[in-house]
Amino acid sequence: MTSTVATEFARKIRNREVAVGYWVVLDSPVSTERIARLGYDYVALDAQHGLIGYNGMLTGLMAIDASQQAAGVVRVEANNATAIGKALDAGAVAVIVPLVNTAQDARDAVQAAKYPPHGIRSYGPMRSALRVGPVPAEADATTLVFAMIETPGGLANVEEIAAVEGLDGLYVGPSDLALAIGAAYPGDPAIKDEFEAALKRVSAAAQKEGIAAGIHNANGELANQRLGEGYTFATVASDLTHLEATAAQHLQRAQAR
């Protein structure tokens, strides 16, 4: 039986309603569970650049589900059927697929996430059966697929990518996208205008096709800004960077004279 959290999250995303999430890179189920109870619509586990292996992904998704509030999302390590299938079988409601350069890349991602006859996902819902249902059609109806736009090819082909049948949304990786358009480093002010134009192009492509537009953000203020600029869901990042920043702030206050 499909969980209420999964169904509601899929509904919000597909209706282009606003959703706010949090980004997790640490293999720390206890802290992930506490974050998931704060009221975020989703918590995303980073299996590409995060410090999370398969067991960390599994226990992280269990921690998120324990909140009975947030949906579990995984950025998979690669655009292939094995990585996508394992994340979904572990209980992810949505997958964020990196390095999508073409419409065919996006079709491959959708195919990997859907059971036959609509895709090639292998049947073995070891844990997802508890969260999104064991019936393939029910799982397909709830499972979301987001294509990351973060490369020169992805940006150049974003309109064609957005039009791929079965794709639920585009997701901007701002650091890589900035580098893709010529930044010397993420946040480089020299390409600010080009970067903002690229963000508008991505959100416009998603809006035209009626799919969600998501983006990664360093903080809540920036997430709020992007939601006001046409993005429909935004992630705040991340547990590791926020832990370090908070510890540094407390140290400065303790040492103040």
Residues that are catalytic: 49
Cα radius of gyration rounded to whole Å, the chain: 18
DSSP 90-133: TT-SEEEE----SHHHHHHHHHHHS-TTT--PPS--TTHHHHT-
Report helix, strand or coil for 251.
Answer: helix
Burial of 129 (0-12, 13-18, 19+ CB in 10 A): middle
Nearest 5°: the CA angle 161, 165, 168 is 75
Tokens 């600029």 correspond to what residue?
Answer: 229
Residue 170 to residue 113: CA distance in whole angstroms: 15
